Structure 1
Amino acid sequence: MARRDLSGAVDFAVLGRMTGDDDAINEEVLGLFVQQAGMWAPMLDVREDGWRDGVHTIRGAAAGIGAVDLANACAVAEAAEKADAPPLLNRVQDALDTALADVAAFRHELMLRSLRGGA
């Protein structure tokens, strides 16, 4: 997996502007995003009391790394009535999965770059 595997679900230029394109900081931020996704994704179910909190947290994390489609899907789900939320939460999960795949590809590229000495 490498940069060529990116789907476009994450605009890493957004992350770069926030971090000054520092690879170490990019890796740290993306690692935190993956950790947060792992913690909050199980709450993407209306049977969970904190489903709206989970969506809200993922929304903020997504916006911070440039995952605009994910952030937008979260905004729609967060604003929905509970009865209308299940298919919207499915869209959030799909967008999260796609963003996580892009993050994995980008992190792989960062790792390769660090092995090459930043080249």
Structure 2
Amino acid sequence: MARRDISGAVDFAYLEGFAAGDQGVIEEVLALFREQAALWTPMLTHDHPGWRDAVHTVKGAARGVGAVTLGDVCQRAEDGEASLGDVKTALDAVLLDIAAYVHEQALRSLKG
């Protein structure tokens, strides 16, 4: 994976600006997002009583890291205009972008 694999599901420029370019903070935020995504994913089914809370939490976290499309899909799911499958698909795209970004940063640190 490399920067070319980033699809645009996350606006990393937004995140970098928000973190004032502090790569340590960015890495920590992205690691927390990935850890939390592992907890949210099993809740993203109508069979789970907390699915609405999970979608709402994902929406806020997504917007916090610059994943605007995921946040918007979550809002539409809360409004009954998008499915939980749509949320999962958008979440997967964000996680792939995060993996590519983290990989790219690791490669840069090796070159430095």
Determine if the alignment matches structure 1 residue 90 to structure 2 residue 97: no
Tell me the CA shift for residue 13 of structure 1. Answer: 1.2
Deviation at 1:43, TM superposition (A): 0.5
Residue 28, structure 1, aligned to residue 28, structure 2: yes
Q: Measure, in 1, the Cα distance between the counterparts of 2:6 and 2:75.
A: 23
CA distance in 1, matches of 2:105, 2:84: 31
TM-score normalized by the length of structure 1:
0.89
Which residue identity is paired with 1:62? A
Aligned to 1:102: 97
Does the aligned pair in 2 maintain the 1:14–1:64 contact within 8 Å? no
CA RMSD of aligned residues (A): 1.3
SS at match of 2:8: coil
Residue in structure 2 matched with residue 47 of structure 1 by the alignment: 47
Task: Give TM-score, length-normalised by structure 2.
Answer: 0.94
Question: d(CA) in 1 for partners of 2:103 and 2:55?
Answer: 27
Give, in angstroms, the shift of residue 114 of structure 1. Answer: 2.1
Q: Deviations over 1:40-71 (max 9, x none)?
A: 11100011000011101111111011111100
1:20-51: CA deviation from partner (whole Å, max 9, x where unpaired): 11111111110001011111111000110000
1:4 corresponds in structure 2 to 4
Q: Which runs of 5 or more residues in structure 1 are unaligned?
A: none
Secondary structure in structure 2 of the residue aligned to 1:57: helix
State yes or no: 1:56 paired with 2:51.
no
Identity of aligned residues (%): 54
